[in-house]
Homo-oligomer: A and B are copies of this chain.
Amino acid sequence: MANIFPYSQVSKNEITMVGSRTFEEFVEEVRRFHSYPAPGVVLGGFMVEKAKTYMPEGVLYNAIAETFSCLADAIQLLTPCTIGNGWLKIIHLGHFALSLCDKSTGEGVRISIDYNRLARYSEIKSWFFKLKPKNEQNEDKLMEEIREAGSWILRTSAVSVNTNDLVLAKKKGVILCPSCGEAYPIEYGPSCMGCQGKGPYVRWSR
């Protein structure tokens, strides 16, 4: 039995790519941006690159991350979509899944995990399903499994979104809050969201 992983993408001697980057280059990029080479961002890299293969050349697309952790950073590193330019939306469902959708048609592709195929990758499986405490994870083995499993453990679905949901609402104007003096979008009501009690601060010395 020459290869117990007949479906695996790579042998140890091959170079694994994440799109146009080598696996090692991408891990380094994740380390710089995300502050540590989180397995979720690294696996997310394969997910983003798989999704990109379904977007025809020249098509402008938006991205949706279905969890607020990890995947958003893979999207921001590997596509033009960022949280700040509004082309990346996080709709937190707690799913380890993402989609890319054509801006003009709403048609797109959703990438998630093929749980059946995780059976071959014990460390990915136990990380993904939180089967053991973090300090018992074998991080090197996890990363090596992700490198080897790559896009083979991914599942692809066709999805479409309402294109209206991809467009950022146009602000109607900006006024100063009569209560605190802070500028805010006029459509938010007679006072700003901070004065409506939505702010994060417990103390604020102006």
Query: What residues of chain A have their CB less than 8 Å away from a CB belonging to chain B?
Result: 33-36, 38, 41, 64, 66, 68-74, 76, 80, 82-87, 89-97, 99, 106, 110, 112-113, 115, 128-130, 157-162, 165, 168, 171, 173-174, 176, 182-185, 188, 192-194, 198-206
Pick 26 A–B contacts, CB within 8 A, sort by A: A34-B82, A34-B85, A38-B85, A41-B84, A64-B200, A69-B84, A69-B168, A71-B84, A72-B82, A73-B82, A73-B84, A89-B200, A91-B199, A95-B182, A95-B192, A95-B193, A96-B183, A99-B200, A106-B202, A129-B174, A130-B173, A158-B204, A159-B205, A161-B201, A162-B202, A165-B200
Q: Which residues of B contact A35 (CB under 8 A)?
A: 80, 82, 85, 87
**Distance between Cα atoms of A33 and B83 in the complex (Å):** 11
- In the complex, what's the smallest C-beta–C-beta distance from A131 to chain B, in angstroms? 9
- Lowest 8 CB-CB distances: which A-B pairs, in order? A73-B84, A93-B193, A158-B205, A72-B84, A94-B185, A160-B203, A159-B201, A35-B80
